[in-house]
Amino acid sequence: MVGIATAFSGSSSITTAATANIQSAATVSTEKTEKNDPQARAEPAVSTLARQLSEAAKRAELRDATIDFKALGQLAGRITDELIGDTYSANRARNHAEVPGTDDPELLARARQATAFIKGTDSNPFKGLSREQLALITYDEGGDFTVDERRAAWREASDQEQVWKRQVVQKASAEYEATGKTTSFFAEVLDHYESLPVIERAQYPQSYVAGLRQKIGQDFVHTGNQGEN
């Protein structure tokens, strides 16, 4: 089917409400029992990662509000090179040796696990986080996360994207077999794009959304006659 590959070509601002959601999602129950510590019932402990994500969300909100969409895409490209491109390769040994400037055992352990994951000897410490949370880690330049942690977050987001692509292409194939069209496919691709963090959306071509909407409006068919019903 033509058109499906082009829908993947290219690569809402983080709000205060999103910050609250991140904190809620990463909140962990306290190790103290309710029986021995009544205060534990009223004040659940917030994980170190939740606090880091909250601070990263504030920086992301400021970043996204102060540079335009094109510049944001360029920034994302530079950061991506630092995490997976030639810049990372040139600094691989230094990146692997990087440790957080803290004696917090949780932070030190996570940084070690991220590096071990990059080397292929451990699991990803950020597996299962949301795309929003992963983007906060990946593109944060505040110093809270090591380069290998940010690379690990990028890898998890990439893995999630590949899972989504496989699923949506299967749906597109089923739609085409049933109707000869892929209108719903393009609509789902557009919905997915609009669900991404703004810094990820900024990496797509400027014509990406207009192209998808055009195909949706034409009730896209693959007969060579676009717009045919």
- Within a domain: 225: no
Assigned domain for 229 exists? no
Burial class of 183 by CB neighbour count within 10 A (0 to 12, 13 to 18, 19+): middle
Whether the predicted pLDDT of 175 surpasses 80: yes
Average pLDDT value for the chain: 84
Within a domain: 137: yes
Asked if the structure places residue 156 within a domain, the reply is yes
Taking the alpha carbons at both ends of the chain, their separation in whole angstroms is: 17
| 174 within a domain of the structure (yes/no) | yes
Is pLDDT at 36 greater than 90 in this prediction?
no
Q: Count the domains in the chain.
A: 1
Residue 127 vs residues 32, 83, 155, 169: alpha-carbon distances, Å: 26, 17, 9, 23
Residue the block writes with tokens 């997915």: 192
CA distance to 84, 86, 87, 193, per residue, from 81 (Å)? 5, 6, 6, 22
Is residue 68 in some structural domain?
A: yes
Tell me the per-residue pLDDT of 56-108, one tens digit each, with 9 for 90 and over. 999 999 999 999 999 999 999 999 999 999 999 999 999 999 999 999 999 99
Q: Print the domain residue range for 76.
A: 6-27+46-217
Query: Which 3-state string (H, E, C) describes the chain?
Result: CCCCCHHHCCCCCCCHHHHHHHHHHCECCCCCCCCCCHHHHHCCCECHHHHHHHHHHHHHHHHHHHCCHHHHHHHHHHHHHHHHCHHHHHCHHHHHHCCCCCCCHHHHHHHHHHHHHHHCCCCCCCCCCCHHHHHHHHCCCCCCCCHHHHHHHHHHHHHHHHHHHHHHHHHHHHHHHHHCECHHHHHHHHHHHHHCCHHHHCCCCCCHHHHHHHHHHCCCECCCCCCCC
Whether 39 is covered by a domain: the verdict is no
How far apart, in whole angstroms, are the C-alpha atoms of residue 212 and residue 218? Answer: 10
Query: What pLDDT, on a 0 to 100 scale, did the predictor assign at position 94?
Result: 97
73/194 Cα distance (integer angstroms) = 15
Query: pLDDT-derived band of residue 23, with 50, 70 and 90 as boundaries?
Result: very low
Q: What is the mean pLDDT of residues 43-52?
A: 75
151 within domain boundaries = yes
Q: Is 43 left (phi over 0), alpha (psi -120 to 50) or beta?
A: beta
Which tokens belong to 113? 């696990």
